[in-house]
Amino acid sequence: MVRLLAILLVTMLAATVFSLSVHGSIGSELGGLNRQFLGFGLRIGDGTIRAELNGYIPISSFSDIPYLDWQAFSVMEIDPTVLLFFQLDQDLSLYAGVGLILLADFRDSLFLLYSDRAFHVKVGINLLLLDFINVFGEVMTIGGLSTGPFLVGWSGVFSLHAGAGLEF
C-alpha cells in the first residue's frame, strides 16, 4: 500500500511540474509474427523532448485461455522511450522516438532486456482535441547496432498503432 501511495504521489507531482498524458492503443505487426496487441502508456513532458513509457500485450495471449484471466497480463513488453516532438500547428505535431525493449514476465518475476543491440524506433502524428484529448497514429520498427557501413540495421518488421489518450 505504501508503494502504491508513493507511485501516486510521484505521478501527481510529475503532473504538476510537467504535462502528463495517459493513453491506450491497438496495433498490428506487418511481418514477423503478425501479432495484434493492446498497448497503454504514460507520457511526461510538454516541449520538444518528452519521455514515454509504454506496455504492450499480445492479443493472442487472451485467446490462449478460455476466459479472461489476469494471467493474460503476466507477460508484456515494456518500452521506455525518448521522443522529439515537432509542432506543425497549435494542435498538430509530428514525433520521432527511440527506446529500449524490455520484457517482463510478472508471473515468474522475470524482467530482462530484449537485446543490448536492439531498440525500437517510432514515428507518428499526434492531434490534440479539446485541449485534453489526443489521438495519434504511429509506425514502429526494431533497429539495431550492426557492423555495416551505417552501424545501424533494421529488422524489416513494422507495426502500426492507433490510439487515444487524455492530457493533463
pLDDT tens sequence across 87-106:
999 899 999 999 988 888 87
Residue 31, pLDDT score: 77
- Within a 10 A sphere around the Cβ of 6, how many other Cβ atoms? 10
Q: List, in order, residues 6 or more apart from 84 with CB less than 8 Å away.
A: 48, 49, 50, 95, 96, 97
Cβ burial, residue 149 (10 Å; 0-12/13-18/19+): exposed
CA–CA distance, 135 with 164 (Å, rounded to integer): 4
pLDDT in tens, 130-157: 888 999 999 998 887 666 555 566 667 8
Domain limits, the chain: 20-167
Cell of 154: 533494421
pLDDT in tens, 1-51: 567 667 766 766 665 566 788 999 999 988 777 888 899 999 988 888 888
The structure's pTM equals: 0.78
Cell of 12: 501527481
Residue 3, pLDDT score: 74
Cell of 25: 492503443
Cell of 111: 524482467
Q: Domain 20-167's class?
A: mainly beta
- Within a 10 A sphere around the Cβ of 87, how many other Cβ atoms? 13
Give Cα 138 to chain centroid, integer Å. 10
Cβ burial, residue 161 (10 Å; 0-12/13-18/19+): buried
Give φ, ψ of 23 to 5 degrees: -150, 160
- What one-character DSSP code corresponds to residue 154? E
CA–CA distance, 104 with 157 (Å, rounded to integer): 21
CA–CA distance, 40 with 3 (Å, rounded to integer): 21
Residue 111, pLDDT score: 81
